[in-house]
Amino acid sequence: MARDPRYDILFEPMKIGPVTAPNRFYQVPHASGMTNALPRVRAGFREMKAEGGWGVICTGACSIDPSSDDAPLPFATLWDANDMRAHELMTEAVHRHGALAGVELWHGGASVMNRQSRLPPISPSGIPWMATHVGFMGNLRPRIMDKSDIRQVLDWQREGARKARSAGFDVVYVYAGMGYLGYEFLLPEYNHRTDEYGGCIENRVRFVREMIEVTKEAVGKDCGVALRVSLEELRGRPGRNQPSEAHELVELLADVPDLFDVKMDSSPTDCSASRFTGEGSHEPVIDFVKRMTRKPVVGVGRFTSPDTMVSQIRRGVLDFIGGARPSIADPFLPAKIREGRVEEIRECIGCNICISSWHDGVPVRCTQNPTAGEEWRRGWHPEKVPQAKERQKVLVIGAGPAGLEAALTLGRAGHEVTLADKGRAFGGRLSFERTLPGLAAWGRVVDYRLGRLNEMANVSLYLESEMGVDEAMDLAPDHVLIATGARWTPMLYSPMEIPVGRLDHPTIFTPDDIAAGRMPSGPTLVFDYDNYYYGGVMSEHLARAGVPVHYATPAGHASAWTIMTNELPLVAKALTARQIETTTLHCLTSFDGETAVLSHIFTGEKKHVSCRSVLITGLRLPDSRLADAFAAREADWREAGIRSVTAIGDALAPGAIAHAVHSGHLHARNLGNPGAAQSFRRDTPITDRIEGFAFSAAAE
């Protein structure tokens, strides 16, 4: 299919100083959880994006010195010859497809705790970042940088840039955003200096300018130099000669870097979840930059629509369409636009499960793209599934996220697939969840898969088709996959931090009741120990329907796990906006239809909440009724010719939607090969480039 000419502008080559990107699709630096300890996993992950048409592919934050140590969070390093070779794997892979490779050199300054190196952090004036999330907390405060420290950091940047160029990078970054060292010089809250590096904006910009200058000196004339800078706070501060200090910063540096990469100041605003923020949300903050510089500008905004991309360019907002999350969800997004296959784009849903991977310290996960991070490890490709050596008949029971993904993957492998669901709509849990406040974009998980399944002649789809063992045997499949999901329970929660006991009362609800249309009629206590989005979003859902809500949780915050997805502060704001009272650190202990009794998880102190109903979002258990029925009649179905019956997704182990999709994909890929499910290649660091290194000596 021919490309829509409206999108031709997206495929124009663009210069970044002395180098030229093949198009305007720019995978900006983003965390992947793939450090130098996983160099082949990282190279495979980045290469897939280059194969898919992204013109520039960048690393995540790459430390220039052990004094910038983010452990135990995953971070890359560029310290020695081994690091250079590890990065070479990525640059070589990216170059194979004609893309440019970029590296985000990084010093964390006061925002890192140097837990591993045990070196004191450094900052312009000794002002630390005092995080409220335990994963970022530390008790080692930074030391104040003197002039020799500034010169030393400039030397580290210069040497890092030299190593980066030797490793094959085409674009080298100076990072002045997200609370890191360059940013700390820009903001007066961090920078209390009275010398030429502090005070007025001209002085506060000096360090960043010098970082750019030494980088240019180091990389020579055949490598681009980019500045990544956060503008949100500075945009809100009036300038002396410009509307804001952000304007003044760009004016002062307009001709210094080869490219401006502009972003927000904190993760909740920089990569906000779709539940709270729409596509292109950065524009009000960064829209002025292109008017003040002749250099190209790249920015992000969870861009998934090619029309929005073109609009950003034609209206003079951006030159490059930056992508982090959309490039994970669909590495082939540019290729699909180029080839006129826009309807096949696997759109990012903005759930931010990818960001939680970094907080967890593991390679990136994606709800939409189960192959993310598995490119080298398992040999998975997001667009290609190996054709089955033996075409088999497969019955998939349940058309939720796991069932849809399994059917799609099986269909692509060439199997004859029947997908049956007892409901009136495809989507399983998402049929309801996509209707909840802010979760409409999550419906893309269903829409993308249904769109592809409806194109396949070897896949048959059936609704309102409840399947039992006899019905399955009548269809005579070779294999059965059970994707019947999970059910919420009304179990309570113990100070031992495990689900225990349950409440029985006519006005005790679970989310399954609400999904079925059974709504509470009066003031309701939502008791949440699931800790992800469900308790918060169900509270909003009830409040939107006019039900007074009191939210309670044994955790320290509402929807506590959403700190991992950058949503925690936005959840708190949403509950406040709905006038939902919140009680933390309390367990529900009793309810008599008029009063719920909460007990402090540590002290046991009681709190009484007047309410007519209680909604518990806590423990989900697999809906194993069908699996149990098959287990009881194994002899019958084996005699009927069925070779295997396997539970997948939530029916196997309840989790986030990303877990269900990955489970469906994994089992479909490995159908007929039971031993393959647990097999993947283990990556290892590169250590052979250190002169005189010997494993025996290291062991001693």
Summarize pLDDT for 581-605 with one digit per residue, the tens: 999 999 999 999 999 999 999 999 9
The per-residue pLDDT for 697 is: 45
Q: 43-90 pLDDT, tens per residue?
A: 999 999 999 999 999 999 999 999 999 999 999 999 999 999 999 999
Q: Are 10 and 24 in contact (CB under 8 A)?
A: yes
Q: Are 45 and 94 in contact (CB under 8 A)?
A: no
Mean pLDDT of the chain: 95
Q: 222-261 pLDDT, tens per residue?
A: 999 999 999 999 999 999 999 999 999 999 999 999 999 9
535 Cβ neighbours under 8 A, 6+ residues apart? 526, 527, 528, 529, 551, 553, 558, 559, 617
Question: What is the arithmetic mean of pLDDT over 480-486?
Answer: 98
Handedness of CA 315, 318, 323, 325 (dihedral sign): negative
**What is the β-pairing status of strands 606-610 and 595-600?**
antiparallel
Q: Pick from 348, 372, 347: which is nearest to 362 by CA? A: 372
Q: What is the SS3 assignment for 427? A: coil
Angle between helices 245-253 and 206-219 (to 10 degrees): 30
When pLDDT is cut at 50, 70 and 90, the band that residue 674 belongs to is: low
When pLDDT is cut at 50, 70 and 90, the band that residue 137 belongs to is: confident
Question: What is the arithmetic mean of pLDDT over 278-300?
Answer: 96
Task: Give whole-number Cα distances, 585 to 529, 565, 570, in Å.
Answer: 10, 21, 20
Residue in this structure with the two tokens 């989005």, named with its chain if needed:
533
Q: What is the SS3 assignment for 120? A: coil
CA dist 614 and 591 (Å) reads 8
Count of CB atoms within 10 A of residue 645's CB? 23
Q: Pick from 282, 276, 277, 323: which is nearest to 304 by CA? A: 323
The per-residue pLDDT for 134 is: 81
Q: Are 312 and 279 in contact (CB under 8 A)?
A: no
Which residues share a beta bridge with 229? 176, 262
The per-residue pLDDT for 698 is: 40
pLDDT at 699 over 60: no
What count of Cα atoms within 13 Å lies in the side-chain half-sphere of residue 467?
25
Q: Which two tokens stand for residue 181?
A: 């060292």
Residue in this structure with the two tokens 């048959």, named with its chain if needed:
460
Fold category of 491-621 in CATH: FAD/NAD(P)-binding domain (3.50.50)
The per-residue pLDDT for 135 is: 79
Task: Give whole-number Cα distances, 169 to 165, 173, 281, 591, in Å.
Answer: 5, 10, 30, 63
* CATH 3.50.50.60 domain extents, the chain: 491-621
* CATH 3.40.50.720 domain extents, the chain: 393-485+625-678
Residue in this structure with the two tokens 């804001």, named with its chain if needed:
244
Answer CATH for 393-485+625-678 from 1.10.8.50, 3.40.50.720, 3.90.1150.10, 3.40.50.11810: 3.40.50.720
Which DSSP letter does residue 220 get? G
495 preceded by a cis bond (ω within 30 of 0): no
Answer CATH for 14-285 from 3.90.1170.50, 3.90.25.10, 3.20.20.70, 2.60.120.10: 3.20.20.70
Catalytic residues, by residue number, are 180
Which residues share a beta bridge with 646? 481
pLDDT at 691 over 90: no
H runs (alpha helix) in 65-144: 81-95
Q: What angle do CA 206, 79, 93 make, to 5 degrees?
A: 100
Tell me the pTM: 0.95
* CATH 3.20.20.70 domain extents, the chain: 14-285
The per-residue pLDDT for 690 is: 59
Q: Which two tokens stand for residue 302?
A: 């969870």
CA dist 183 and 108 (Å) reads 9
